[in-house]
Amino acid sequence: MQVPKRPRLVYGRCPMAERIALFATAARGTEDLLADELKELGARRIRQDRGGVRFMATLDEALMVALWSRIAMRVLYPLGAFEAHGAEGLYEAAASIPWEEHLTPEHTFAVDATLKDSEHSHSGFVALKVKDAIVDRLRDTQKARPDVNTRDPDVRVVAHLSRETLSLSLDLCGEPLHRRGYRVRPTPAPLKETLAAAVLRAANYTGTEGLVDPMCGSGTLLIEAGLIARRRAPGLNRDFAVERWPEMGARARELLADMRADARRNERKVEVPLLGFDKDPEALEAADRNVRAARLSEEIQLAEGDATRLPPLPDSGGLIVTNPPYGDRLGTGGQKGMKSFYFKLGESLRVPGWRVWVICGNPAFESAFHARPSAKKDLWNGPIACALLGYRPPDGGNARGDVGDGSEAPLGAPRDSANVAPVRPQHEGEEEG
């Protein structure tokens, strides 16, 4: 069993100087949004795939993605994909990787494993076999073994077994990118930060118009909007695993220090209202704590309010965006009660000058809202199939959320688009990563 020939991580004087194939994962249904975001960040040869996007990048381009991507969940460096039959096949496949190029006995590591339609029933077993192969290979080649640290490893290995195909990758970021660090107080069924950012991108929110979430819960949509409006990098206040990789870590830390300093210099003052309402005092308390943790207390205002009786909104107009209950947390009434709630919501949210975007996992929503959406997109909120629906303002006002005016990248990264090389689809026969 051989590792496919491919560009490898180049250590020493010029780490990862040539572009290598990487894979950024994303929530199902948001791959196209992530592809657009990666293009803005200077990635090359971008190609959408199920559950993510393949692209080419140098080290500094990959770090720009890690720091600035709002939609990506992980940024992976694929090491290879192999046929792996049974426990022995898993071990042999993992042992064929030259781990000595990526690990030393002085560094810790961990293996995260996922399964799909596999003969194995437990991901922990797959992770164990991969771990054993890594340890044995390092013991043979380096005469010592690295330690496992499942909580905070220097190098995180990602194993995915689909049927009998084992894919092995290194995670450049470590902790998933949706963990921005501001969710100090969750609420039931919170929206992931990366999915919230994808919703805002689909709505073409650039941070230059007002935004209202009438059912803000723990405040995720509001906070992600605040980060966009502030033009703050979502990864600004976190570390990345690549900073601790052997040899490459020093160069990565140097590049990231410059990128973080540049990001802080280019933040901007928020000039538009960002308003959140919720009828649940506990949800508002959670949102307030999260907003403060995100350092957006001056930019975001919270108040108790019923979404079906929305208070007067600023005449400036803007975007109403929300994630209403899908039917399991409204108490009694069943589907009939949900339809009544959605109907009242439609009456309340039709405000002149304000367009509306809603993510909903209840199929009854679209008809009960009694308005024809001008945009519709299927996506997944975890295991729940959802529809993302966009509605024009009732007075026919600003409809830029339908087509996008391109006036400013929602990403917010300070980048001169004229310096970004054109991105073309990856041709058949080229390396996929």
Considering the domain architecture, whether residues 124 and 203 belong to the same structural domain is answered as no
**Lowest mean pLDDT, pick from 169-183, 379-393, 394-408:** 394-408
pLDDT at 328: 57
Average pLDDT on 191-214 reads 97
Domain presence at residue 416: no
| Percent of residues, the chain, with pLDDT higher than 70 | 86
pLDDT band at 219 (very low <50, low <70, confident <90, very high): very high
Does residue 27 register a pLDDT over 80?
Answer: yes
Residues 310 and 197 occupy one common structural domain = yes
Higher-confidence residue of 186 and 134: namely 134
Q: What is the pLDDT of residues 92-122, one digit of tens each?
A: 999 999 999 999 999 999 999 999 888 888 9
Q: Are residues 96 and 225 in the same domain?
A: no
Which of 88 and 11 is assigned the larger pLDDT? 88
pLDDT at 5 over 80: no
Q: Do 217 and 140 fall into the same domain?
A: no
Same domain? 201 vs 306: yes
Looking at the structure, tell me whether residues 85 and 227 fall in a common domain: no
CATH of the domain at 343: 3.40.50.150
Q: Are residues 72 and 145 in the same domain?
A: yes
- Whether residue 87 sits in one domain with residue 123: yes
In total, how many domains does the chain have? 2
Same domain? For 140 and 222 the reply is no
Position 220 in a domain: yes
Tens digit of each residue's pLDDT (9 = 90 or more) over 315-372: 999 999 999 998 754 444 578 889 999 999 999 999 999 999 999 999 999 999 989 9
Q: Are residues 165 and 310 in the same domain?
A: no
Among the residue ranges 217-221, 227-231, 271-275, 420-424, the one predicted with the least confidence is 420-424
In the chain, the percentage of residues whose pLDDT exceeds 90 is: 79
| Residue 28 shares a structural domain with residue 61 | yes
Q: 29: domain CATH number?
A: 3.30.2130.30
Most confident among 162-171, 194-203, 402-411 (mean pLDDT): 194-203
Average pLDDT, whole number, for the chain?
Answer: 87
Q: Which position has the higher pLDDT, 190 or 235?
A: 235
The reported pLDDT for the residue numbered 425 is 29
- What's the domain range around 373? 193-232+267-391
**Taking 50 as the threshold, does the pLDDT of residue 311 lie above it?**
yes
Work out the pLDDT band at 395, boundaries 50, 70, 90.
confident
Q: What are 152's two structure tokens?
A: 């905070």
